Structure 1
Amino acid sequence: MGAADIVPGVSGGTIAFITGIYDQLIESVRRVNHQALRHLFNDGWKAAWEYINGSFIFTLLLGILVSIFSFSQVIGYLLLNYPVQLWSFFFGLIIVSAFFIIRQIERWRFSSLVSAISGTVFAFWITVATPITLSADYLHFFIGGAIAVCAMILPGVSGSFILLLLGLYAPVIDAIKSLNILTIATIGLGCVTGLLLFSNVLAWLLKNVRDITFAFLTGLMMGSLNKVWPWKVTESMRLNSEGHEVPFLQKNVSPFAYETITGQSGSLVLAIILMVTAIILVISLDRLRSPTHG
């Protein structure tokens, strides 16, 4: 999840769903509430820890943090030097993930169809929205963290891309690389606040209107494919945290147009191989966690 959350356009929520921990994640976070405090004061820390599924939350957060700090340099390098190959892998990952979410819908109704279309339109709109530039101060870091974390737990909506739209992606990555503790803590506080509030809403939706919710999540993933299309040409650049020019606004083109415009190989065969590899990986993970499936 941490590695996925670094890439603008890919959601950690997608990875949570692939690995079969999505419902457990939402329910565990939702339980960090006043009831947990009641258990803490009345029954002790062990009862409170078990109530919130603390071991699961701690292990997951540790993995995310380790991944973010370990892979931020690697992901940045791949985005800069092998963008077609990296986006191809994630494109296949999202396609097969959407299929697995569709499988969760027990019965398609008109409301589910409307929900799926709404999710697709919303995600597509996010991918083509014009970025704004917020000042990199602590208030905006807090707000950005609160908004981005909501996207991070939704399959198909990238928290990193939300930060990019807000103009906060580069300052956040810079803070992580330079270990700016105060900035990281502010972002973290915003993330915790947003997560605790949004997880309750999402948990209610999954419990009461599950098919409609999963239809909307499917739409989010399909709409997000516009962002992870491997072949893009750059229309404008921006300076990253190291003062280097990196792509800012891009548009999608065909693999053949990409070769004509950029003069670089579209790597079509390799891209297809990577897409198929991602699909096989997800199917394998699903069979590993569900040995009796099929």
Structure 2
Amino acid sequence: MFNWKNVFRGAAMGITELVPGVSASTIAMLLGIYEKLLQAISDLTTGHIKRAFRFLIPLGIGMVAAVALFVKLIEYLLHVHNQPMMFLFAGLVLGILPFLWRSAHAETKHSFKPLHYVLMIGAFVLIAMTNFVGESNQAVMENLSLPDYVYLFFSGWLASTALVLPGISGSLVFLILGVYHTAIASLSTMNIPVIIAIGCGVVLGLLVTSRLVRFFLKTYTQATYSLMIGLVAGSLIVIVPTELPETFLYWLVSLMALLFGLVTALTFGKAER
């Protein structure tokens, strides 16, 4: 039987994938379905197709519907009310860090070693450095040739890591590769060839990356969790706006958005625990 609650979970993941710096896999962890997501994607390549579809079809419906319905709204909010929106997402990301920390210790019953802290700091710095990616080369690609579609395909492949690695945003990967606005415009205008090129890359990338992540989670649990904590913490540097609110009202709204995101994440984290 399909779990139709996954439609709403997929919708939450789909909305976050429209925002550079916010990872859908972070939201999957927040909702308590991260490991089930990895399992279902891996099932597609191990013969358990029906079990995978029971989980992935409602999730996919939610993600696709959310992207189609909210892409223009998210574009508007990020453009007109960027600061409260980003503070909201920052609160969500901040609130999931205690959950990740508890999960790492619960899985192994051991404390982090010095090597794990090195991995954590390295992952933090790696993601934080993406904050210096400029807006150059962000024009919408037009009159596309075959090499352009190949590039979009591999961009989708790289961005698919966002669905399996918390802290890495698919939209941020697109931004780094210079195809973010092309991807968003294709969704807004239903540019089918571009959507297919990127979508095929995402699907193929998911099938490969999910198995690698599951392997590392099982074999090197604490090292993998330390990387995840670093990636998620580093994404805060990317998410928090560089320009702070100018008026008291906007400060108040932004602070309320931050607290709402934080409390929501902490609540879900306790429920998952």
**Greater Cα offset, 189-198 or 100-109:** 100-109
How far 1:285 sits from its partner (Å)? 2.5
- Which residue is 1:48 aligned to? 49
Residues 1:113 and 2:117 are matched in the alignment = yes
Aligned partner of residue 6 in structure 1, secondary structure: coil
Asked if the contact 1:5–1:158 (Cα under 8 Å) also holds between the matched residues in 2, the reply is yes
Code of the aligned partner of 1:69: A
Code of the aligned partner of 2:34: Y
Asked if the contact 1:131–1:166 (Cα under 8 Å) also holds between the matched residues in 2, the reply is no
**Greater Cα offset, 153-162 or 121-130:** 121-130
**Greater Cα offset, 275-284 or 198-207:** 275-284
Residues 1:181 and 2:192 are matched in the alignment = yes
Looking at structure 2, the residues matched to 132 and 147 of structure 1 have their Cα atoms a distance apart, in angstroms, of 20
- Which residue is 2:167 aligned to? 156
Q: Give 1 or 2: higher helix fraction.
A: 2
Aligned partner of residue 273 in structure 1, secondary structure: helix
How far 1:99 sits from its partner (Å)? 1.8
Residues 1:281 and 2:264 are matched in the alignment = yes
Code of the aligned partner of 2:78: L
Residues 1:145 and 2:156 are matched in the alignment = yes
Asked if the contact 1:91–1:230 (Cα under 8 Å) also holds between the matched residues in 2, the reply is no
CA deviations on 1:30-62 (whole Å, 9 max, x unpaired) are: 2221x31xxxxxxxxxx6312xx2110111111
CA deviations on 1:185-206 (whole Å, 9 max, x unpaired) are: 1111000111111111101011
How far 1:23 sits from its partner (Å)? 0.7
Of 10, 21, 41, 1:9 maps to: 21
Q: Give 1 or 2: higher strand fraction.
A: 1
Looking at structure 2, the residues matched to 173 and 286 of structure 1 have their Cα atoms a distance apart, in angstroms, of 31
How far 1:130 sits from its partner (Å)? 4.6
* TM-score normalised per structure 1: 0.79
Looking at structure 2, the residues matched to 118 and 102 of structure 1 have their Cα atoms a distance apart, in angstroms, of 17
* TM-score normalised per structure 2: 0.85
Code of the aligned partner of 2:76: Y
Aligned partner of residue 10 in structure 1, secondary structure: coil
How far 1:83 sits from its partner (Å)? 0.9
Of 253, 256, 263, 1:270 maps to: 253
Aligned partner of residue 103 in structure 2, secondary structure: coil
- Which residue is 1:128 aligned to? 132
Paired positions, count:
249
Aligned partner of residue 103 in structure 1, secondary structure: helix
- Larger relative contact order (Cα-Cα within 8 Å, sequence gap ≥ 6): 2
State the superposition RMSD in angstroms. 1.9
Structure 2 CA distance for partners of 1:148 and 1:48, relative to 1, 3 Å: closer
Code of the aligned partner of 1:116: M
Looking at structure 2, the residues matched to 48 and 270 of structure 1 have their Cα atoms a distance apart, in angstroms, of 46
